[in-house]
Structure 1
């Protein structure tokens, strides 16, 4: 093979279009690195690259691409920016090269999971790994068919398709398709533009219709969110609300808010008020608010209808015996009572008599049915607790399995979305509609939210409240909407998280850090930066610092100037956090952030016990921040110290997932609240409750209680999803929040100088 003519090109890449051997990787790499000329050569099975300077020839898709990437380093990072990232690229190249079609599901899911919090496979820019994966998708029909249903995988793939190097190479791969389908391309572009309107920070594109709901007609969809007012809304309820709201909004239909208030023993008006408050916070667009209690008379009529038609009977067998009989498929002795006797006993239930309180109304279906749900389920029971809406009017109340399908049908619900804990009740739901001659809504399931170390059982959350382990349902340690928003979660992040999960019915146990990582994407680019130091500080005297304090005007965040400016006071004496000061060496040069001044440590003054008392240093105005490894937060010793109380919280339980046999008391975390007394300067005096800030090198915080010059601002640390830890092993927010490569191992209790557990 001869050299190319013209010495400007570093090499000539020759290739042929041969179907599944099409050299995407080499071609795209050559387009991304200037100086490699592409020439078509017919009949060539593998791409070849002739290096102009040496006449060496490299053959093979991967080898050619690797040579170009290496030759272009370090200016080009296609092969990673260091040894670690290069090894990661090799790791992915090996996975992609050995991909087998029969493993397409597992491979696609692995890539999907990898992209949840990443834009590219390795690092922060395109590498050979991305190019190789793109090629594999284009050349493997089974994998390409999977991509649209995987939101994060599809986000990555869609982005690469917009880049010139990828678009041009794809056109070479299928020129006839690109030349003859201009109308189709224009239509696809218009659809993509419309789809982009829905694209959010995590790349979700609104493909919720993949839940395969029938009858999603524009303007005719009616969904409902039916919370039981037996507690505050937690993030699991929020998922249900957001999903139902999505379909109603997307199809210009209607969302009904219905309080499922059929159990007066657990329900309170307080819970109703706070659920409505939370729905307003979520900004759900509902037109109707109803109660199941509005239909109690109707439910009684339906129950009596079933009795008269010999489809239900009243049973005074004990609860334990009924359960045992259902397991063993044994009929109750009450099953064959006369219709008249059943109506008489049902009246006893409605009156709440002593005898009536021993009874339940059961459907008469089939005690030998293979589906246990059909073994004469209970539909009505007595509860003597006054109802928070109807008072003492009713004594017998319909159970959810009976009331829900009736009210759904009557209220015109078209699509009843329920968490998959009810998946074994779908047929029973339809049975109730059919036996009563009611229209069937379509029922579909989605997965419940399940997080490690997080309880979403209202009964267990009520225990934490009742035992005083937390201060209430709105405590920052609680997974209620009010609790997690008090801890800094944004509604936008919560909705993004729910919708990015899709409406899949597959249950998974997730790390709640994923939710906080999404939240960080919404907060971090939009909040001001301030400085906060713990009370334990060290005075640094600057021999050639300003003779008198001076004030500099700096942006609150230099990447978002619209946030305004702050005042930075500089002087010849500054304060450093004690841990930072203890890490300094004499002769060392460091940078003071915000000021931008380099200082050189001349003397570290220590007490007899070795503790740091003060530091003498010199300003170095000609020093460059690029030359220093340490960039430190500080405050002038002359500023007014505004008190700040920093708070952080740990999980309430110490086990990732509680089993049915576990006793809750055995797994309660004894130390879940940590506090540190600190101070900032007068820049924070304008903060209000709910305001979010970033304390430099310390992290994101939300103002939980506004203070003043003499009373502390209470600031709660907002998790960012980066830390991986077990309960009880979390770092408190009081160590400098510099990026860490290793997982934290120290327990809060082992850091008495940093924080005290409450």
Structure 2
């Protein structure tokens, strides 16, 4: 794509050339015509590279010839005449023009009457007009009311043209947002239909255009301590800053060289004995002037500016270097540029980012080295597949943006939490290959959170309530204020101390935030922030008798720990407003929220409470049962970590909650394990028949054949397969077999059946037999003493209903048949397998080694790994559904 700044410069140059040509005497009409054609071509090229938007910021339209213009004027006149015929001429009192004239006439009369009244009474005209009653038959002027203007932008959305140069993006506004610590309040989107930048205003009030205007709005709305110093603390300072901004606006029409020289000449005089343009700190004037220079925060942009300024040291150069060192300007540049894997690095090579994994979206407002994410599990159970999505997404963003990952235990409820679960979660994370940068605990901040609770009380932001729970729920549903809502600060403190004292009377009381009981968002209707709980805490013991809720603790600790992006599932959408209210009300550093959909699976229960019920009632062997959706369970079932990570990240960008089918996941898992699953064979221990191959070696001859572990990848090496005269076959494979039929013993060769006698077959090995001609290609096992006893384990879903509804009792939908075992005779090579190896038993499926072979009494235990298919790959069906 062509450089828009260069194209715009070309347009300006051609326009200036045409002006000069027209000044010549005589005028060279041919030269003017050629220049006009070149100008038109340049404007057209600009629009083509700017998604149809011309240099004037309007939609590009091809210029019309004189004939075409004449034709258009004729059409307009015809349309006007048609209006006359239809009775819509100006004399029609309902026509727009008639109404406009009538309105002007009425306004003139009102002014005249007001002047007359003022002359008689001595009042000012405006006061007289206001006092004068409306005459009979004439309506009084309607009071002006606010009418929301239309905007494509959502409230607090900042848009800019992605094809525009950096100086036409909201760099000044974003710098202001960074300085005021409110970047998380704004979302940044690209819109190629807009020539400049704009901000969507709240309450449907339309939008604000212009970088500097948006910057002023952000500063004043933020009510940050920085506001006065940035946009002026008094009338005079504000006026001076505004005059500098007006100056930078006059420079915007110039090309870069002239613009830089103009700013330099001005600053060299202004900054001889000053550090900043206005006052003693950085203001909006400095930022606007930095933008006028091209916002040279990047090394590449600075080089261009320094080339124009020359080699001499000047106050302007000193000022530029000082401004470039400001972290806010550097972060604003990254936000305005967007983070991508461009060949031109932003600031330094370490800021280059890997391409996004397919399915993942960019992290809004993320800049390299400045991202901190957190995974906050409650130590009340083992992690399940839903948690895996949350932690892997947090880890992905932290690593992609060269940031930090915090694992923080949300241990605010002693009734549910145990040290066992805390330990298991850390082990589960290790199994997933997740290495947090730091592990923290919400309980470490209990005293700090208590301090913030007292701040809320002292500032009228909370109250203590002893309303019974059911009544409180009803009042919140009906939007009825609690009888305690207007209690005094003294009473509130008294009951808060009672709640925290450990006294039995304190158990009745809780702390509620005073937000908005009329809100359509139920979570904003004075939610509970603190509760009494006299059970010992697994880390803090009996130190505390009351604990903050997750809703209060999370936004506080997120802010304190420097979390920049809080990844929360869409089920928290309603609570996001509450989260932001708490940070704002407590004056905390703001955290940006990034929503993603929860990972649900069909025929699967993910509730910790219900999973605990399965464990306690013996439906499973423990939290690591292969039928369980816990991390331990799915890994024991045979989930490949690489496949799990890829599958979860592929779902990451979606915010739509769906119930996934396990078959889709297992199909992806199969693609990965198939690349390394070595091939072996096994025959059912009871449902088999014997084949005597008359010309094969005897068992005593100890004969072998050699075959690839992975036929598609010989690099995995060879395995030796024992062959002998007596061979075991699956009974199901030889049903209907007849004498004279050729069969293929896989990896060995063709055998012609010469005799069928019930469960005993006789055949002859055909060295050069035709593999393709034989219909039956079957697995087999030499009937020798070196074979291995193997137990195959199959599993089915614990829940028999695809999706449990809210009013369903999960106990009514428990699958009674979820585990089956099969004894088989396995290849001797299976005894070398190690725990967690993944193999394929040919024509049966994939298996994970749960217990390796020790001896005849402790045989090999293999867990079937689903492959996403409804039937087994080779027709050897198991005892349960193949899933």
Instruction: Report the TM range for the smaller structure's normalisation.
Output: 0.5 to 0.7
Does the C-alpha gap of structure 1 residues 583 and 647 become closer, same or farther in structure 2, counting only changes over 3 Å? farther
Q: How does 1:648-659 map to 2 (within 5 A)?
A: 648-659=794-805
Kept after mapping to 1: 8 A contact 2:796/2:880: no
Q: Is 1:599 equivalent to 2:751 in the alignment?
A: yes
Residue 51 of structure 2: aligned partner: none
| Counterpart pick for 2:769 among 623, 626, 635 | 623
Kept after mapping to 2: 8 A contact 1:532/1:695: yes
Deviation sequence 1:702-747 (CA, Å, 0-9, x none): 0001123413111000011122xxxxxxx7xxxx63179xxx9x98
Q: How does 1:470-549 map to 2 (within 5 A)?
A: 470-536=620-686, 537-547=688-698, 548-549=701-702
Residue 561 of structure 1: aligned partner: 714
Q: Is 1:275 equivalent to 2:428 in the alignment?
A: no
Residue 233 of structure 1: aligned partner: 383
Does the C-alpha gap of structure 1 residues 693 and 336 become closer, same or farther in structure 2, counting only changes over 3 Å? same
Q: How does 1:348-387 map to 2 (within 5 A)?
A: 348-387=498-537
Residue 718 of structure 1: aligned partner: 865
Residue 738 of structure 1: aligned partner: 874
Kept after mapping to 2: 8 A contact 1:569/1:639: no
Kept after mapping to 2: 8 A contact 1:585/1:601: yes
Deviation at 1:748, TM superposition (A): 3.8
Q: How does 1:357-436 map to 2 (within 5 A)?
A: 357-436=507-586
Q: How does 1:626-705 map to 2 (within 5 A)?
A: 626-705=772-851
Alpha-carbon distance between aligned partners in 2 of 1:673 and 1:311, rounded to the nearest angstrom: 55
Q: Higher RCO, 1 or 2 (CA under 8 Å, sep at least 6)?
A: 1
Residue 459 of structure 2: aligned partner: 309
Kept after mapping to 2: 8 A contact 1:644/1:712: yes
Deviation at 1:564, TM superposition (A): 2.7
Alpha-carbon distance between aligned partners in 1 of 2:839 and 2:714, rounded to the nearest angstrom: 15
Deviation at 1:602, TM superposition (A): 2.1
Q: How does 1:194-213 map to 2 (within 5 A)?
A: 205-206=357-358, 208-210=360-362, 213=364
Alpha-carbon distance between aligned partners in 1 of 2:343 and 2:491, rounded to the nearest angstrom: 68
Deviation at 1:565, TM superposition (A): 2.3
Kept after mapping to 2: 8 A contact 1:587/1:600: yes
Alpha-carbon distance between aligned partners in 2 of 1:218 and 1:715, rounded to the nearest angstrom: 45
Residue 586 of structure 1: aligned partner: 739
Structure 1 residues not aligned, in runs of 5+: 1-140, 142-186, 607-612, 724-730, 750-754
Q: Is 1:219 equivalent to 2:366 in the alignment?
A: no
Does the C-alpha gap of structure 1 residues 541 and 198 become closer, same or farther in structure 2, counting only changes over 3 Å? farther
Deviation sequence 1:195-222 (CA, Å, 0-9, x none): xx978xxxx84563445x12x1110001
Alpha-carbon distance between aligned partners in 2 of 1:355 and 1:305, rounded to the nearest angstrom: 24
Deviation at 1:440, TM superposition (A): 1.0
Alpha-carbon distance between aligned partners in 1 of 2:354 and 2:727, rounded to the nearest angstrom: 49
Kept after mapping to 1: 8 A contact 2:359/2:651: no
Q: Secondary structure at the match of 2:822?
A: strand
- Structure label with greater radius of gyration: 2
Alpha-carbon distance between aligned partners in 2 of 1:567 and 1:636, rounded to the nearest angstrom: 12
Deviation at 1:475, TM superposition (A): 0.5
Kept after mapping to 1: 8 A contact 2:569/2:595: yes
Deviation sequence 1:29-59 (CA, Å, 0-9, x none): xxxxxxxxxxxxxxxxxxxxxxxxxxxxxxx
Kept after mapping to 1: 8 A contact 2:409/2:441: yes
Deviation at 1:583, TM superposition (A): 4.2
Kept after mapping to 1: 8 A contact 2:692/2:762: yes
Q: Secondary structure at the match of 2:557?
A: helix
Q: Secondary structure at the match of 1:587?
A: coil
Deviation at 1:355, TM superposition (A): 1.3
Alpha-carbon distance between aligned partners in 2 of 1:380 and 1:464, rounded to the nearest angstrom: 31
TM-score normalised by structure 2 residue count: 0.58
Kept after mapping to 1: 8 A contact 2:795/2:880: no
Deviation at 1:545, TM superposition (A): 2.1
Alpha-carbon distance between aligned partners in 2 of 1:599 and 1:507, rounded to the nearest angstrom: 55
Does the C-alpha gap of structure 1 residues 319 and 416 become closer, same or farther in structure 2, counting only changes over 3 Å? same
Does the C-alpha gap of structure 1 residues 716 and 583 become closer, same or farther in structure 2, counting only changes over 3 Å? farther
Residue 214 of structure 2: aligned partner: none
TM-score normalised by structure 1 residue count: 0.68
Alpha-carbon distance between aligned partners in 2 of 1:463 and 1:687, rounded to the nearest angstrom: 35
Q: Is 1:298 equivalent to 2:448 in the alignment?
A: yes
Q: Secondary structure at the match of 2:599?
A: coil
Q: Secondary structure at the match of 1:721?
A: coil
Deviation at 1:546, TM superposition (A): 2.5
Cα RMSD of the aligned pairs, angstroms, is 2.5
Alpha-carbon distance between aligned partners in 1 of 2:786 and 2:359, rounded to the nearest angstrom: 53
Alpha-carbon distance between aligned partners in 1 of 2:643 and 2:451, rounded to the nearest angstrom: 45
Q: Is 1:467 equivalent to 2:614 in the alignment?
A: no
Alpha-carbon distance between aligned partners in 1 of 2:810 and 2:564, rounded to the nearest angstrom: 39
Kept after mapping to 2: 8 A contact 1:406/1:433: yes
Does the C-alpha gap of structure 1 residues 675 and 456 become closer, same or farther in structure 2, counting only changes over 3 Å? same
Deviation at 1:578, TM superposition (A): 1.5
Residue 727 of structure 2: aligned partner: 574
Kept after mapping to 2: 8 A contact 1:598/1:620: yes
Deviation at 1:368, TM superposition (A): 1.5
Deviation sequence 1:438-490 (CA, Å, 0-9, x none): 01100121000011101111111111111111111111000111100001101
Residue 446 of structure 1: aligned partner: 596
Deviation sequence 1:666-685 (CA, Å, 0-9, x none): 00111100100112122011
Alpha-carbon distance between aligned partners in 2 of 1:411 and 1:234, rounded to the nearest angstrom: 26
Kept after mapping to 2: 8 A contact 1:641/1:709: no
Alpha-carbon distance between aligned partners in 1 of 2:606 and 2:519, rounded to the nearest angstrom: 32
Structure 2 residues not aligned, in runs of 5+: 1-191, 193-339, 345-349
Deviation at 1:411, TM superposition (A): 0.4
Q: Secondary structure at the match of 1:625?
A: coil
Q: Secondary structure at the match of 1:255?
A: strand
Alpha-carbon distance between aligned partners in 2 of 1:409 and 1:748, rounded to the nearest angstrom: 51
| Counterpart pick for 2:478 among 325, 328, 341 | 328
Give the number of aligned pairs. 535
Alpha-carbon distance between aligned partners in 2 of 1:255 and 1:386, rounded to the nearest angstrom: 30
Does the C-alpha gap of structure 1 residues 709 and 747 become closer, same or farther in structure 2, counting only changes over 3 Å? closer
Residue 210 of structure 2: aligned partner: none
Q: Secondary structure at the match of 1:208?
A: coil
Alpha-carbon distance between aligned partners in 1 of 2:478 and 2:822, rounded to the nearest angstrom: 59
The runs of at least 4 consecutive aligned structure 1 residues that moved more than 3 Å come to 187-191, 204-207, 746-749
Alpha-carbon distance between aligned partners in 1 of 2:513 and 2:782, rounded to the nearest angstrom: 76
